[in-house]
Structure 1
Amino acid sequence: MSILLDGKAVAALHERELSEHVAALKARNGGQTPILATILVGDDPSSATYVSMKGSACRRVGMDSIVIKLSASATTDDVLSAINRLNANQAVHGILLQHPVPAHVDERLCFDRISISKDVDGVTSHGFGLMALGEPAFGSATPAGIMRLLAHYKIDVSGKRAVVVGRSPILGKPMALMLSNANATVTLCHSKTSNLEAEIRRAQLIVGAVGKPNFIRSDWISDGAIVIDAGYHTGGIGDIHPDGLMGRCAAVTPVPGGVGPMTISTLIAQTLGAAERVWSTIQ
């Protein structure tokens, strides 16, 4: 019997908890509201949709969001200037630079300009290093959301053989480290991995984070495995081909409705956490 890891339902449950938390926080601090600021560079429709969804999630829990829109021709300096202004704005508690940015923008330089205290998407090198060492930090939102999803369903990864396919600095790499910090034995695979099928067949937990639709074949995955698909492509397709997984695997995330809602829920929760840190130091 497979467990459907319903991220949409879990995120909705978390939103109710967050709403209560935000209301209580406002009651204590004179009505001040946690604010997430998002920088959107260019006119990619998918990115615009994601930004809109994040803003809606903020409002549902009683938080605020602002969006800084820059043209596709914006330079790295333009993006850095926007980040500098948000870093200096004491009313802003979290900063998100929507990924991806146009190719001519130095994304890593821009990510690392975000103040560590406002890095609620876990994208800075500083934040990544703290997370890797097991120190307090806001983790990258998608892998952190996956860990929250597993915890909700009481899935213990300790001692399990885990395979993460994809080595993005904001998804695959932090995912591998979070699993390792939770005592899984982790193999990080990528486009240069020899005999990827064999690596996946050995996995008790597989995370698809390669960014290619249906790249991982369902018949590579062993019976009883835990299957986490972090991909999302046009037509509601993930990175892992879903045929036959439900029924023979221990747990499976749907696409859509699995990892995506948990990413947004985690981003909101971490923005609230950042606001609490600020207000706790000035009360």
Structure 2
Amino acid sequence: MSALMLDGKALAVSREAMLKASVEELVAAGANQPVLATILVGDDPSSATYVQMKINACGRVGMGSRSIHLGSDTTTEELLATIDGLNNDPDVHGILLQHPVPSQIDERACFDAIAIEKDVDGVTTQGFGRMAMEEPAYGSATPAGIMTLLQHYDIELEGKHAVVVGRSPILGKPMAAMLLNANATVTICHSRTQNLEALIGQADILVGAVGKPELIKAEWIKDGAVVVDAGYHAGGIGDIEKDGLESRAAALTPVPGGVGPMTINALISQTLESAKASHNQ
């Protein structure tokens, strides 16, 4: 067996071509250029890199971007005021608050202050609830990107046992809800899970979203599993150890080049959808 490589980078490139055409069509119809506003709080270099990657992606598809950089001493109240201003700006169609924010800020309160129609990163409590209930909402960008990747490669989900390792509110939990909505049987594992190795060994679909380098060992994963690694750590390694998986797994995401590009693609795709909805009001 040779694992099918789930190439998120290649898929993102092809989808960007379609997004660019859609943006041009929307603007030609008289709509304003779709605009994504990004908010970076503090001076974390990794966060700055991620924000710039999202801005670059907007440029490639002909979308506008507005970059807001706030100091590391920013208060919750100041950040909330910034978000409120963007909520009320008709020229902004999507708002991204880069995670994480400095510790003195109530991140959840700030996420939830984003208007639901501009929550293109899928971080609000309301958006999560609507998505989980299969109501219209923008999904959390990383899980939404993963679902697009699995769909593109015709990965069967219905009736499969999906194991998600990680329960963060913007990755693990929405990932589990999306898989459940796709008729998979879902197990969520986390730091208090007992017999983690045994549970991972049952997975037909495995999603590593725990944020710890190579916590999930290759030997735990059964032959023929679909392995999705949502982690990225220094040295180009993910949350899942890959030794030998290329000859045992049915499908596998590379790190880098698997999930990451699809996260950004989902974000800009959902910003375009928000712009379309605004134009059609």
Residue number in structure 1 paired with 2:141: 141
* Aligned pairs for 1:153-168 within 5 A: 153-168=153-168
* Aligned pairs for 1:1-283 within 5 A: 1-29=2-30, 32-281=32-281
Letter in 1 for 2:175: M
Kindly report the root-mean-square deviation, in angstroms, between the aligned alpha carbons of the 2 structures: 0.6
Per-residue deviation at 1:102? Answer: 0.7
Give the Cα separation in 2 of the matches to 1:194 and 1:232. Answer: 25
Give the Cα separation in 1 of the matches to 2:264 and 2:6. Answer: 16
Letter in 1 for 2:256: P
Per-residue deviation at 1:29? Answer: 1.1
Scaled by the length of structure 1, the TM-score of the pair is 0.98
Residue aligned with 1:246, SS: helix
Give the Cα separation in 1 of the matches to 2:30 and 2:163. Answer: 44
Residue aligned with 2:69, SS: strand
Residue aligned with 2:12, SS: helix
Letter in 1 for 2:222: S
Residue aligned with 2:9, SS: helix
Letter in 2 for 1:27: A
Give the Cα separation in 2 of the matches to 1:247 and 1:23. Answer: 43
Letter in 1 for 2:235: G
Letter in 1 for 2:188: L
| Structure 1 spans left out of the alignment, 5+ residues | none
Letter in 1 for 2:190: H
Give the Cα separation in 1 of the matches to 2:187 and 2:103. Answer: 30
Give the Cα separation in 2 of the matches to 1:10 and 1:108. Answer: 32
| Structure 2 spans left out of the alignment, 5+ residues | none
Letter in 1 for 2:108: R
Letter in 2 for 1:13: S
Scaled by the length of structure 2, the TM-score of the pair is 0.99
Moved over 2 A (4+): none
Q: Deviations over 1:173-230 (max 9, x none)?
A: 0000000000000000000000100000011010000000011000000000000000
Letter in 2 for 1:159: G
Give the Cα separation in 2 of the matches to 1:23 and 1:150. Answer: 28
Letter in 2 for 1:163: V
Letter in 1 for 2:250: A
Q: Deviations over 1:80-121 (max 9, x none)?
A: 011000001000000000000011110000000000000000
Give the Cα separation in 1 of the matches to 2:104 and 2:215. Answer: 28
Per-residue deviation at 1:137? Answer: 0.4
Give the Cα separation in 2 of the matches to 1:116 and 1:202. Answer: 37
Per-residue deviation at 1:234? Answer: 1.1
Give the Cα separation in 2 of the matches to 1:219 and 1:10. Answer: 29
Per-residue deviation at 1:156? Answer: 1.7
Letter in 2 for 1:254: P
Residue aligned with 2:38, SS: strand
Q: Quick one: percent identity of the two aligned structures?
A: 64
